[in-house]
């Protein structure tokens, strides 16, 4: 049986590795199709091997993939960017609704955000498994990272990598020139949402305040 190797960016590969709690992941680099691998070292930091291994030294700081990253969820979210009960019946509608919330948070037109998210989904699903999706994209109009978290009223088909329906979504929008901070943010979100207990709590919380408290609790999030 042949195993299909996905085409991913380094950040997306790291996100999948974190969510599945794997020691390493092999992927085709989305930019040029080259074969790459991210692996976890004994000190818990992560390194990129293969043809693009210089990426780590040239672009990302030493702790960009490690537990020591300074990026926290509270840096990405505000209480107003929490959607406790998002109504959507399909993937397109969910992305449209999130784009509207992203527009409210950033002042950028929701159609512009939706187009960026749709183009990203064409490269491969951001439904990373276990009911979680982390749609993301870069916008030249942005000056800093912004996030939106949504708990869906009902799970929807999101073409996720494990074919399971999605009911938790974390939208991450980044400036085009953000550099390593985009990877730090993806890593932070993926580490948080790979925690089954945390996801169970998020699914069981119905108020904006409760969801925001859970997502930004640095004690529990660092343990994830």
Give me the pLDDT at residue 194, please: 87
In sequence order, the 6+-apart residues with CB closer than 8 A to the CB of 172 are 76, 134, 135, 136, 145, 146, 147, 182, 185, 186, 189
| Catalytic residue list contains 182 | no
C-alpha span between 1 and 24 (Å, rounded): 21
- Contacts of 38-45 with C-beta under 8 Å, sequence gap 24+, read 38/10, 38/13, 38/14, 38/65
Q: Give me the catalytic one of 40, 101, 120, 136.
A: 136
Fold matches, 7-58 and 73-215: no
Output phi, psi for 62, to 5 deg: -55, -35
Give me the pLDDT at residue 51, please: 45
User: Hey, where are the domains in the chain?
Assistant: 7-58, 73-215
Give the architecture-level CATH label for domain 7-58.
2-Layer Sandwich (3.30)
C-alpha span between 178 and 189 (Å, rounded): 16
For 77-119, what is each residue's pLDDT tens digit?
999 999 999 999 999 999 999 999 999 999 999 999 999 999 9
Give me the pLDDT at residue 60, please: 38
For 3-29, what is each residue's pLDDT tens digit?
566 677 666 777 667 656 667 777 777
What is the pTM for the complete model shown? 0.74
For 124-161, what is each residue's pLDDT tens digit?
889 989 999 999 999 999 999 999 999 999 999 999 98
C-alpha span between 118 and 181 (Å, rounded): 22
Q: Does domain 73-215 have CATH number 3.40.50.2300?
A: no
């Amino acid at each position: 049986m042949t195993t299909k190797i996905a085409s991913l960016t380094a950040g997306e590969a790291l996100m999948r590795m974190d969510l599945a709690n794997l020691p390493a992941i092999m992927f085709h680099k989305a930019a040029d199709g080259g074969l790459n691998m991210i692996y976890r070292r004994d000190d818990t930091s992560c390194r990129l091997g293969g043809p693009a291994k210089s990426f780590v030294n040239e672009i990302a700081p030493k702790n960009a993939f490690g537990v020591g990253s300074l990026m926290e969820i509270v840096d990405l979210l505000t209480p107003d960017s929490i959607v406790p009960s998002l109504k959507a019946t399909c993937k397109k509608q969910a992305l449209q609704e999130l784009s509207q919330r992203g527009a409210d948070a950033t002042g950028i037109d929701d159609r512009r955000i939706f187009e960026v998210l749709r183009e990203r989904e064409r490269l491969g699903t951001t439904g990373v498994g276990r009911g979680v999706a982390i749609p993301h994209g870069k916008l030249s109009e942005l000056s800093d990272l912004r996030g939106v978290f949504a708990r869906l009223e009902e799970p929807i088909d999101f073409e996720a990598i494990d074919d399971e329906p999605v009911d938790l979504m974390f939208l991450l929008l980044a400036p085009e020139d953000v550099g390593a901070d985009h990877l730090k943010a993806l890593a932070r979100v993926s580490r948080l949402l790979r925690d089954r207990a945390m996801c169970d709590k998020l699914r069981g919380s119905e108020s904006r305040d409760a969801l925001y408290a859970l997502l930004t609790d640095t004690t529990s999030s660092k343990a994830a």
